[in-house]
Amino acid sequence: MVGIDDVAKHAGVSTATVSRALSGRGYVSDATRAKVSASAEHLDYVVSSNASSLASGRTRNVGIVVPFLSEWYFSSVVEGAETALLRRGYDLTLYNLTGGGDDRRSVFEHFLLRRRVDAVIAVSLELSDDEVSSLHSLGKPLVSVGGVLPGVPSLTVVDSAMTSLSTEHLLSLGHTRIAHIGADSAFDRDFKVPTYRRKGYEQALRDAGITPDPALFRAADFTMKGGFRAAKQLLGQPRDRPTAIVAASDEMAIGSILAARDLGLNVPGDVSVSGVDDHQLADFFGLTTVAQFPKRQGERAVELLMEHLEPAPGSAQPAADLSSAERVPVPFELVVRSSTAAPKPSTA
Amino acid sequence: MVGIDDVAKHAGVSTATVSRALSGRGYVSDATRAKVSASAEHLDYVVSSNASSLASGRTRNVGIVVPFLSEWYFSSVVEGAETALLRRGYDLTLYNLTGGGDDRRSVFEHFLLRRRVDAVIAVSLELSDDEVSSLHSLGKPLVSVGGVLPGVPSLTVVDSAMTSLSTEHLLSLGHTRIAHIGADSAFDRDFKVPTYRRKGYEQALRDAGITPDPALFRAADFTMKGGFRAAKQLLGQPRDRPTAIVAASDEMAIGSILAARDLGLNVPGDVSVSGVDDHQLADFFGLTTVAQFPKRQGERAVELLMEHLEPAPGSAQPAADLSSAERVPVPFELVVRSSTAAPKPSTA
DNA sequence: GTGAAAGCGCTAACAT
DNA sequence: ATGTTAGCGCTTTCAC
């Protein structure tokens, strides 16, 4: 196993110089740097991250904690973060809380504390105050993606704004009987996302002078099947059928489209449907939706962390910035496809 | 930052004893062990994994390399592996090769070599000989999931057997005009999975005395949209329409179901459809499919690695076993739902 | 700009 | 069963 002194010997310099040349910290003449790089390359030298971390206190590794992995949103955030980290020479250690209870405890009490990470990204995770402070007390930068954590910079879309947007889109097309498929508070895991999305829908209606009709709301579990069932209820009504459905997620929206087809209804002819996410299947189903960009969110989280892990020369108190920027808004955008259109002139 | 000597002091023993008591290697009396554990707990002590790794050479960290993350199969394998590792006190470092070219090189040339992992799991990755040997030369155990790597124990289903199975299922229901949607070799990334699946279909037909008809094959890209398009071609034929479709993936199978509906055909009345995977959406669509269990595959990969990272007392040459067990078959199973049925008696 | 040397916090002989 | 001690392979003062 070739070590730093092999390189030093080969290059005819000291180990200190090798370290400086390769890590970029401290002064090394260009000539020396080149010589050292050549030797390192020649010998296939790679630093031992353990030794390096032990000596420097930096691990060049970031932990990311997710509640699930096999859902589109989460795996996309992770993918974005991973790409951004890789590019900067960092590793990504994944902690998946799927297991629940004990697993979760052990992640916080042992894993993250093993001093193996420089920073932590929490994705759509509601952390207890204890958990947040245990992270803070380690002096590890922490950012949240997809949910607001008290005292933690949080990259997150304004959920209510997304459904307001799609509701407004439908209103502007001339719809007035607009239904909503989302979830009531019983389904509120993850930061009350469902509730906020429902509020956005209701607000948009009110702003247009329409009182939200409870009969036009159906709770569902954010899956395609759930959306399918809910839409069946909504669209099966023999009279006063809604002319549009605002679903709180693309999967539910797609379920709604399938339900409409099942009932012999044409989308968007008889009913318009919109979703939220811009899921990979949205395009195939021609779904109008409000896109959020989870990969981008993962990348942004990394950028934010980097400002604090590797502050640009000339910034003063980076740590202060981090905790002050409580909420970092992330972009979203209406993507209009073929599942929404003006309602048919009421020939009834 | 409380260190090992704080614990030693508090417990009134030497650091060596603390290390032994906490790691479980070497002899410690029960009484001492209890005392040390209590002190460690009391002081909120957690080992520095870097110091520990540096001194011992073990990292308690496993690298997993995947080509994509936001696909169901990959994220499921990772999830399974992560759960299994967490349970054993290991971390999981994720390397995502989505980026392609340069990223890939750097993963192999730098990241994995930083001595940060004890072992590597490669998921559906075709590694070059150089890459395999660079891993081998590090003495890191390597297992492959979802594809066979030369000289590497590989957890993988026999792809041809999966499509044989679903084809036989359809044959046994009485179908004879059975189409296949898969991919030709042009789409062969990942170990020629598409080709093997096609071969399984053809073999089952031949075994039943039927010559595969090239007109009943359509290439697609493994997506729902691709399956949809291919099925439209197949099912749009005015005459000699197939009565069944064997798709090489669930997404394509679901696309086929939607195409059939679009054409006014009833599934399974007019056409039966089967897939491969048991994707999360399979149940919703009532899809008959051949399930593989990616989470389980991830767990098994970890179990295999553990036999070599932490050999049970009394095993001789574990490393030898690992490289000798070239192909470790993993289970798969036919899941019959409502998308397949006997063909209608040909009233034509 | 470069080198010498003192650790970083643990583990593993070895000794007892 | 427990203590002593020499590293593990780097980074980083501090001199020069």
Test A54 with B49 for CB contact under 8 angstroms.
no
In this complex, which of B78, B82, B111 lies closest to A91 when CB atoms are compared?
B111
Is the confidence at residue B102, as pLDDT, over 80? no
Which pLDDT score, from 0 to 100, does residue B180 have? 98
Both A179 and A275 in a single domain? Answer: yes
Mean pLDDT confidence for B52-77 = 92
Is the confidence at residue B305, as pLDDT, over 80? yes
Residues near B5 by Cβ (< 8 Å), separated by ≥ 6?
B15
* Among candidate residues A144, A141, A108, the one with its CA nearest the CA of residue A126: A144
Which pLDDT score, from 0 to 100, does residue A100 have? 66
In this complex, which of B49, B72, B116 lies closest to A114 when CB atoms are compared?
B49
Test B115 with A284 for CB contact under 8 angstroms.
no
**pLDDT over 70 for what percent of chain B?**
92
Nearest CA in chain B to A115: B48
Both A188 and A167 in a single domain? Answer: yes
**pLDDT over 70 for what percent of chain A?**
92
Which pLDDT score, from 0 to 100, does residue B137 have? 75
* Among candidate residues A74, A140, A68, A55, the one with its CA nearest the CA of residue A104: A68
Q: Nearest C-alpha of chain B: how many angstroms from A2? A: 11
Mean pLDDT confidence for B299-305 = 95
Nucleotides of strand D lying closer than 7 angstroms to a protein CB: 1-5, 7-13
Q: How many angstroms separate the CA atoms of A342 and A348, rounded?
A: 16
> Which A residues, 3 through 42, put their C-beta within 8 Å of a C-beta on chain B?
none
On whether residue B318 sits in a domain, the answer given is: no
In this complex, which of A54, A76, A92 lies closest to B51 when CB atoms are compared?
A54
| Inter-residue contact A311 to A281 (CB < 8 Å) | no
On whether residue B186 sits in a domain, the answer given is: yes
Question: Could you read off the pLDDT of A263-290 as tens digits, one per residue?
Answer: 999 999 999 999 999 999 999 999 999 9
Both A47 and A146 in a single domain? Answer: no
Residue A317 pLDDT grade (very low, low, confident, very high; cuts 50, 70, 90): very low
Both B190 and B111 in a single domain? Answer: no
| Inter-residue contact B159 to B103 (CB < 8 Å) | no
Mean pLDDT confidence for A12-28 = 93
Render the burial of A170-207: b for 16+ CB within 10 Å, e for the rest.
bbebebeebbbbbbeeebeebbbbbbbbbbbbbbbbee
DSSP-derived secondary structure letter, B219: E
On whether residue A321 sits in a domain, the answer given is: no
Q: How many residues does chain B have?
A: 348
Which CATH number covers residue A46?
1.10.260.40
On whether residue B29 sits in a domain, the answer given is: yes
How many angstroms separate the Cα of A221 from the Cα of each of A75, A184, A248?
19, 9, 10
Both A121 and A176 in a single domain? Answer: no
Is the confidence at residue B276, as pLDDT, over 90? yes
Please state whether the predicted TM-score (pTM) of the whole model is above 0.85. yes
Both B299 and B283 in a single domain? Answer: no
Question: Could you read off the pLDDT of A111-129 as tens digits, one per residue?
Answer: 777 778 999 999 988 888 8
Least reliable range by pLDDT among A111-115, A215-219, B173-177, B199-203 = A111-115
Quote the domain boundaries for residue B66: 61-157+294-310
Test B95 with A103 for CB contact under 8 angstroms.
no
Question: Could you read off the pLDDT of B211-225 as tens digits, one per residue?
Answer: 999 999 999 999 999
Both A49 and A166 in a single domain? Answer: no
Residue A287 burial (10 A CB sphere; 0-12, 13-18, 19+): buried
Confirm or reject contact between B115 and chain A (CB < 8 A).
Answer: yes
Both A202 and A273 in a single domain? Answer: yes
Both B138 and B175 in a single domain? Answer: no
Angle, nearest 10°, between helix axes B159-172 and B193-207?
40
Tell me whether strands B91-96 and A119-123 are parallel, antiparallel or unpaired.
unpaired
Mean pLDDT confidence for B151-159 = 90
Is the confidence at residue A205, as pLDDT, over 90? yes
* Cβ-based contacts (< 7 Å) between A 31-70 and strand C: 31-33, 51, 54-55
* Among candidate residues B234, B230, B232, B242, the one with its CA nearest the CA of residue B183: B230
Test A46 with B76 for CB contact under 8 angstroms.
no
Footprint of strand D on the protein (CB under 7 A): A 1, 3-5, 15-16, 18-20, 22-23, 25-26, 45, 47-48, 51-52, 54-58; B 12-17, 20, 26-29, 31-33, 51, 54-55
Test B48 with A115 for CB contact under 8 angstroms.
yes
Q: How many angstroms separate the CA atoms of B160 and B167, rounded?
A: 11
**Coil, strand, or helix at residue A44?**
coil
On whether residue A336 sits in a domain, the answer given is: no
Test A86 with B92 for CB contact under 8 angstroms.
no
Show residues of chain B in contact with A115, CB under 8 Å: 46, 48-50
Both A164 and A286 in a single domain? Answer: yes
B55's tokens: 């001194």
Residue B110 has phi, psi (to 5 degrees) of: -115, -60
Both A286 and A164 in a single domain? Answer: yes
Q: What angle do CA B93, B96, B100 make, to 5 degrees?
A: 150
Test B115 with A49 for CB contact under 8 angstroms.
yes
Which CATH number covers residue A168?
3.40.50.2300
Residue A244 pLDDT grade (very low, low, confident, very high; cuts 50, 70, 90): very high
On whether residue A337 sits in a domain, the answer given is: no
Which pLDDT score, from 0 to 100, does residue B51 have? 95
On whether residue B74 sits in a domain, the answer given is: yes
Confirm or reject contact between B113 and chain A (CB < 8 A).
Answer: yes
Question: Number of folded domains in chain B?
Answer: 3
On whether residue A340 sits in a domain, the answer given is: no
Test A116 with B50 for CB contact under 8 angstroms.
yes
Which pLDDT score, from 0 to 100, does residue A150 have? 84
Cβ–Cβ pairs < 8 A, chains A and B: 138
How many angstroms separate the Cα of B336 from the Cα of each of A224, B90, B166, B271, B345?
21, 38, 9, 15, 21
Nucleotides of strand C lying closer than 7 angstroms to a protein CB: 1-5, 7-13
Show residues of chain B in contact with A48, CB under 8 Å: 54, 114-115
Show residues of chain B in contact with A93, CB under 8 Å: 61, 91-94
Both A298 and A153 in a single domain? Answer: yes
Which pLDDT score, from 0 to 100, does residue A190 have? 60
Give the residue from A68, A94, A108, A133 with the most B CB atoms within 10 Å of its CB, the best one to mutate: A94
First to last CA, chain A: 82
Q: Which residue has the tokens 């590797």?
A: A310
